[in-house]
Structure 1
């Protein structure tokens, strides 16, 4: 007779706590399919161009579950309930990090513009000119979005490209400009 999956998960978590070297691999094999389904459900509510993939979510959640295996889990249901909570937290943390990276970039450029010193204005102009030599369309996207206040849809219409291309150009251009203006490039998130 096959062992109850709930008991198996509980005993594997105990084995991980006890330091058994293969316990984490065995647990992963035992729960992978369910974690994959759960990750897909969590990702359904996210935007289509999300930088996290379901497999990233599974791996990060599993690592956190294994690191936190000190708590007593009452079987399979408790394990998957905790896994779902952890996946949600990962997605929230990811969104916060992405928002912070955008805010840092926008603050760096806005700060340079607000001070409006001739040197800063020249620096930004020179950086945009260098970008235009590398990729004219990206430079135009920056000008229209940051300086002109156009939306991604409006820029796409003006340039005759898709909104997705505008988003990609904006991401690449802002990372490049941020580095040029002395900052660190934003995450790929």
Structure 2
């Protein structure tokens, strides 16, 4: 699969949260703002299933050998906890989670590639072809992130759409709710963002 094909095939996983669950999360966020720290644990339990489902999709898509869906969820939540984040509402929380997952994946990709490059490049491996394929995908992930950072400077909303859909695995309706735009606008923004990213990746090919 070529680098640009990734954006053609990127489809967010089907949303599984019920209206009751979303309402419960929103109420618990209010409790957090009122000083109920235990509410964070309750929120985590409510959203864990969806987080794990999204994490499974992301790990399969990015083929990161050093991270599992469970560890991705755990690292994401720990990153948020360390940042002492504050979410205004359920959609804001979803946006923060999507960003945190993105950075966890990027950090793991950098760590994996740095570790491998520190080893003897002439060491033979029975799975050398597989390893090269994995390395290429990790490098592509970093290239995509660099292109996304360039998109932020051009149009920050388009970059948010990519972050929420490509890294956060969110549905168009969810993205529209978070950004305060219509589904039609989300689709138009996604097309624009994908075209920009593909052109950037074509001009900045993955390093061999």
TM-score by length of 1: 0.48
Higher normalized contact order (CA 8 Å, seq sep 6+, divided by chain length): 2
